[in-house]
Amino acid sequence: MLHCLQSLGGSLLVTSRDISSIKAVLREALRMDIHAHENDVRKYITDRIRLSARLDGMLGAGSFRGEIIELLTKESQGMFLLSRLHVDLLAHKLTRNEVRLAIDNLPKEVGSAYDETMKRIDEGPHGELAKKAFTWIVFALRPLLFTELQEALALSTGLREFSADDLVDKAAIMEACAGILVAGGKKDGENDVCRLVRK
């Protein structure tokens, strides 16, 4: 598509993540890198940690928390998405030493962070549930409300008739999807629109 647009001869403004295939097509274009301010990323990381009861409790209120937030801020390279994936990776650790080890081995790029997240999903107890949810979201003809996703997942189990007792809890679906599934956009928490986190 970019080749086609370039052939029209006009000026074109393209915004994109730092993806090599796109850079190759636009190799002669003027480029401007945009990064989030460090303080904004730090605040985002702090807020994401607070949303994870396990990680929030494990980090405590002392210097360990501050050290982890600073390391995550540095490793994010000014990208909110990478910092989100990093926090989500740490949120599944059970001990401070596991957090320290994970910090030393954080993925440096968004693609690697996605790979690590998908590996965690595959190895998790509800990997199949997550894959079904991703499939429904990707192939739906329109954005699904969360309640519609729950109903679709209930029918995906091969049952012949629908029962509300077969609905999977929202929190369980979100946990199985390990941060790749995002629900938001409506005021009613149960009827949020589902989407995948953007790469």
87 touches 48 (CB < 8 A): yes
70 in the same domain as 143: no
pTM: 0.72
116 in the same domain as 147: no
What is the spatial distance between Cα 181 and Cα 192, in angstroms, rounded to a whole number? 12
98 in the same domain as 81: yes
177 touches 134 (CB < 8 A): yes
181 in the same domain as 151: yes
106 in the same domain as 50: yes
Closest to 59 (Cα-Cα) out of 94, 24, 16 = 94
* Structure confidence at residue 13 (pLDDT): 78
* Structure confidence at residue 170 (pLDDT): 92
CA 112 to chain CA mean position, Å: 12
The strand pair at 193-196 and 181-184 is best described as: antiparallel
Tokens of 29: 């274009």
Closest to 105 (Cα-Cα) out of 67, 69, 71 = 71
184 in the same domain as 139: yes
Q: Which domain covers residue 74, as residue numbers?
A: 38-122
* Structure confidence at residue 118 (pLDDT): 92
In this prediction, the residues of the chain whose per-residue pLDDT falls under 50 are none
Give the DSSP letter string of 182-195.
EEESSSSGGGPEEE
pLDDT tens, 75-127?
Answer: 999 999 999 999 999 998 999 999 999 999 999 988 899 899 999 999 989 99
75 touches 106 (CB < 8 A): yes
173 in the same domain as 115: no
186 in the same domain as 152: yes
CA distances from 91 to 11, 31, 51, 195 (A): 44, 35, 10, 21
Cross-strand bridge partners of residue 183: 194
Last residue of some domain: 73, 90, 122? Answer: 122
150 touches 157 (CB < 8 A): no
* Structure confidence at residue 157 (pLDDT): 64
81 in the same domain as 5: no
Rg (CA), the chain: 20
* Structure confidence at residue 126 (pLDDT): 93
Structural domain tally of the chain? 3
